[in-house]
Every structure is written in structure tokens, then in C-alpha cells.
A and B are shown apart, each in its own frame.
Chain A
Amino acid sequence: MEEPKSLHDLPPEFVFDPSRAAKFMTRHGHGGWLDLTYHAHGPDWVELSLPWREELVGVAETGVLASGPIISLMDNATSMAVWTLSGRITPHATLDLRVDYMRAAVPGRAVIGHGECYKLTRTISFIRGIAHDGDPDDPVAHVTGTFMATHGTYL
């Protein structure tokens, strides 16, 4: 099946599938530059992968990733989790994000962002997630936040 060229060009029967959508949603822009790729998903969660590379380092001496790429990873994974739960792509904007850093990600390791949408209202979606670098029980960061639907509604 041909991929839709734009988000505004989707048939009414379209059901959001993150495994397919990630291919075109992370090809351009910041997500493309970060090389974010689809990892896994469930009914209300999406996992994306962020490969480690030199350019993303925040502390030159240690090789530890900057927090910006982790925030971007979690922003994208949780955003897609919202659409996965709602079943459609409602244009939305991030209202806020809080990131708690448990520890530094190990240099050289890819970071997996697990984003989950735990509540949808008509206009606000509530999200949380973790980022880990191999062991989900030993996360690098915890994230919570909200998105607001800018055109249309989630429900």
C-alpha cells in the first residue's frame, strides 16, 4: 500500500499504525536527524530507538548523551502513543514535559524510549514513559507530560 504523503491526506477509515507511521514520521526533520526508528508498540504505548552517536554528546569528556535528544525521543514516542490509543492522528502540541534523570545513558548504547498514553480527554492527553539503554528495569529517565489537540479532538 502506498504511504500517505501528508497527515492531512488520510482516508476516513485510516487507523493509526505506529509501525508503519514511524517510517515516514521519522524520516525528515529533527526525528530524522536523530535517526529515531520504530522499536515496538502496544494498544497505548510506542517504543522508538535512538542510536548513540558522537554528535549527540552533551559532555565531551564523558561521551554521555545530552538531555535534548532524550527529550526529543520521549516527545516523539509519547506523541505516537497518544495517536495509537486514539486510533487517529489528531494534530497536537506538547504543553509540558518533565524529565527525571535516574542516571547517565551508557556511551555507545542505543536508548529505547517507551512512551505511554494513560488518559485521553477530548482535548488533553496525559502521557508518561521511561527511557532505558537495554534494561527496562534500570531506566535512564522517567517522563510525564501533556499534549493538547490543536485541530479536532482525540475522542
Chain B
Amino acid sequence: MSTQLPPYAHALGIALDHDEDGLPVLYADFSDRIQGRPGFLHGGALSGLMEMAAIAALRAELERRGEAMKLKPVNVQVEFMRGGTEQRTFAMGKVTRAGRRVALVNAEAWQDDRSKPIALAQMKVLLSPDE
């Protein structure tokens, strides 16, 4: 499995932690770059991490199917459940449904306790064959 991350991910220190049953788990260490109000993770940076995880999961799924697709995000809904604190944050995406033209991908983010996610994201992505 190849997980290629864009410049935005590299700039924020978002990287691949490990692979969980074919799903990439990404992480980002806390830094001033992703801090919102003092001591807490910025909601936008957290959304960015979950978006990267969602796209990575979708690419992994399409790769398994042997389909080369161009992805175009349609919308994203993010729910913030707990404030992210000054520690490593993980995110993993899960493809809920990927048809021929549209994919629905869920992602969740957590910190030290996997059973207590800090945020959820649901993303819809338009798929078109990559010429």
C-alpha cells in the first residue's frame, strides 16, 4: 500500500503511523503550527488531518480494486467532541460506500485513548476515471 501525502500534510507534520487492516492510520504531533486557542489543537488543523486520513483510506480502497480515479471533494461535515490537547493526534478513515461516481468516507481522530475520539468527519467525494 502506498500512502502519498500532499505538501499540506508534510508542512503540518502529518505522516503515516501504521496500517490497520489495510487502512492507513495517520498522526500529527502537537506543535505551534496546529495550535488554536492556547494549549489546544486548532479545529481546522484537526479537520485537515481527518481529511488526509479519509482521502488516504479512499485511495487505498481504490488501489485494492485496481481503479485509477480522480477525486473531487463535494463536502465535509466535522463534529468536534473533545478539545484536542498538547499530544500526538491520530486519525483513520473508513470508506463507508464507494460506488462508481461517489464515495462516502468517515474519519475519526483520537489522542491517547482510542475509545474516546475527539472528532469525527464525514466526507463525500466525487470519483471520475483518471485518463
Q: Which of B34, B38, B75 has the most CB of A within 10 A?
A: B75
Interface size class of A (residues with CB under 8 A): 35 or more
Count how many pairs of residues, one from A and one from B, have CB atoms less than 8 Å apart in the complex.
111
* Interface pair A71/B80, CB less than 8 Å apart: no
Q: Report whether B42 and A31 are in contact in the complex, using a CB–CB cutoff of 8 Å.
A: yes
**B48: A residues at CB distance < 8 A:** 66-69, 71-72
In the complex, what residue of chain B is closest to A63 when comparing beta carbons? B7
What are the residues of chain A within 8 A of B3 when measuring CB–CB? none
Chain B residues bordering chain A, tally (CB within 8 A): 33
Say whether B76 contacts A99, CB under 8 Å: yes
Least distance between B31 CB and chain A CB atoms (Å): 9
Q: List CB contacts (< 8 Å) of A57-75 with chain B.
A: 57-60, 65-69, 71-75
Q: Which of A16-24, A87-95, A122-130, A131-139 contacts B (4 or more CB under 8 A)?
A: A87-95
**What is the CA–CA distance of A108 and B43 in the complex, to the nearest angstrom?**
25
* Residues 1 to 45 of chain B near chain A (Cβ within 8 Å): 6-12, 32-38, 42-45
Given A28-B35, A30-B33, A75:B43 Cβ within 8 A: yes
User: What is B's interface to A at a CB cutoff of 8 Å?
Assistant: 6-12, 32-38, 42-45, 47-49, 51-52, 72-80, 83
